[in-house]
A and B are shown apart, each in its own frame.
Chain A
Amino acid sequence: MTTTLRVNPIACSGHGLCAELLPELISLDEWGYPLIADGPVPVRLAREARRAVTDCPALALRLAPQPEHGRAGAARRVP
């Protein structure tokens, strides 16, 4: 089972701990908000990913059980 990292953009207030803890997958944009790499979390980073989720002061990070469909990048309309 693969997991992906997702951020709740409403809860996120740009603390930036996640980027410090998981620089392989998370960087910060010019406003301090996380840019998360697409795709599943590599197994070797699973522990760091869990730590990032636990340590986020806003509890804005989540490990979702399946890969996300198409949220990143292209604009998408929803019902």
Chain B
Amino acid sequence: MNTVPMSRASVTGRATPAPPGPARPARPAGPAGPAGGGRLPRVLPPPPSVDRAAGLNEHLDRHGPVPYRGARHALIGDVRASGLTGRGGAAFPVYRKLEAAAAARPGRAVVVGNAAEGEPASHKDEALLTLAPDLVLDGLQLAAEAVGGGRVILYVRRDILARSRIDIKIPERRRRGVDQARVEVIPAPGRFLAGEESALASLITGGAAVPRYTPPRVFERGVDGRPTLVQNAETLAHLALIARYGPAWFRELGTLEEPGTMLCTLRQADGSVTVAEAAIRTRLDELLDLRNASAVLVGGYHGAWIEAGQAAGLTLSNAALRPLGAFTGAGVLAALPAGRCGLAETARVARYLALESAGQCGPCRSGLPSIAAAMGELAGPRPDPRVLADLGRWAGLVEGRGACHHPDGTVRFLRSALRVFAGEIGEHERGRCVAPGAPGFLPVPAGPRAEQDWS
């Protein structure tokens, strides 16, 4: 009944000029994959077949066989040279995670591909699992080989699993010898924190998908107390291509510090949503139509708002975004239509974030609902004058005082809203609003139905 959301997946992005240097390496013979590093798409399939997955044969024809190296560690050098960073939101260098997991005894590490996609505004992991599942599974196999993993898991949000049916593809790969390691598919609940790495490890170990206290981090002690490598599904897809075409190929797009491409979920002001693959440092106004937008939400619900005018001059890169308190994150770019109230949208999301707190840590459990209620007050007419001071105090009180970064991300999102929508706050104080009573624009799922929703 549910159509694949990414029936409209499109491919955009301009290749940034390749950095001067050695000639482009020769394309490996055989696979008819990306002809050169400067071309898009990479992980997404090329048009016109953008609304269904390629079969395994098509995939192998296009990219060639999975380039196993035959030994642990062997791939890590290439990953390091490529500069690949995690695409799950934290942008941590992938080679360092691989090295940490590879330090364990052979067969001890647990390797998890993370397709929990806890961010409601993001659809990229679902798009990948629907359109390029074999690439993700290739990456999972390669990562498992590189670290000597003894257990390989694909952790997929329940409804994405149901729609993509990626579990059907795995036995065929195994049967045909494409997969060396057996892959377990573990469904994840549709909760915001379900993809957090300690919550992931907790659920796989048999508990609820709620964060655990760290240290130790999951790369030291994760699933069943074993060193655990957690990589976002998109990261694994890029890994699968780097293994085939090499780090220099990967670096032909993007910047020196942030090489490669990334998937973005583009939410336009007219309400349309697409997933696009773009080279890093693509201009934001090439991805989003900003003509009718007042602000842009960058990164997701733990990201930050930026004024549309400012956003027009920015690029999709942490170098450009960090000075404004934002970062690329999981690639969510949402344009707020000019006729919508940013405070009301922020309040709706803040309420969602408060409900999504695992409720384990006092400051988050108590502070986030207070913050959300205060935002709700601010989103209405003539808010109580104490609300802003309360918000400031509570934001300062919850930051850094949870076991995970849920309160921190919420505060970042909130503070950016207070900055960017300061003018609207003034309007509300005078009893005016740009869009009183307008329906919500940003996607906010219904709240948890029961305590059991954590498993």
Contacts and interface: CB of A to CB of B under 8 A. Distances in A.
Interface in A45-79: 71-79
A40 interface: no
A76 B92 contact: no
B397 A76 contact: no
A9 B86 contact: no
A76 B408 contact: yes
Contacts of B96: 79
B363 A76 contact: no
Contacts of B31: none
Given A33-B363, A75-B408, A79-B92, A10 B212 contact: yes
B90 A12 contact: no
Contacts of A9: 213, 360-364, 401-403
Nearest to B363: A33
Nearest to B329: A77
Residue among A13, A73, A79 facing the most chain B CB atoms (10 A cut-off): A79
Interface string A4-33: 000011111110000000000000011111
B400 A74 contact: yes
Interface in B65-96: 86, 89-92, 96
A9 B403 CA distance: 6
A58 to B, nearest CB: 11
Given A14-B362, A76-B405, A29 B400 contact: no
Nearest to B360: A10
Nearest to A60: B213
Contact of A13 (B212, B362, B405): B362
A72 B367 contact: no
A14 B97 CA distance: 35
Contacts of A72: 400
B400 A77 contact: no
Given A9-B362, A10-B213, A10-B360, A77 B399 contact: no
Contacts of B89: 77
Contacts of B197: 79
Contacts of B92: 78-79
B409 interface: yes
Interface residues of B, number: 31
A12 B364 CA distance: 12
B399 A73 contact: yes
A73 B397 contact: no
Band of interface residues on A: 20 to 34
A33 B363 CA distance: 7
A31 B362 contact: yes
A4 to B, nearest CB: 13
Given A8-B213, A31-B367, A75 B399 contact: yes
A72 B212 CA distance: 18
Nearest to B412: A75
Given A12-B362, A76-B405, A71 B213 contact: no
B405 A79 contact: no
Contacts of B417: none
Contacts of B412: 75
Contacts of A29: 363, 397
A71 B214 CA distance: 11
Interface in B395-446: 397, 399-403, 405, 408-409, 411-412
B362 A33 contact: yes
Contacts of B366: 31, 33
A31 B364 CA distance: 10
Interface string B232-259: 0000000000000000000000000000
Q: Which 10 A-B pairs have the closest CB atoms?
A: A79-B92, A75-B408, A9-B361, A33-B362, A31-B366, A10-B360, A77-B90, A8-B213, A10-B403, A10-B213
Interface of B: 86, 89-92, 96-97, 197, 211-213, 217, 327, 360-364, 366-367, 397, 399-403, 405, 408-409, 411-412
Given A77-B91, A78-B92, 19 more contacts: A9-B360, A9-B362, A9-B402, A9-B403, A10-B212, A10-B360, A11-B213, A13-B362, A33-B363, A71-B400, A73-B400, A75-B409, A75-B412, A77-B89, A77-B90, A78-B90, A79-B90, A79-B92, A79-B96
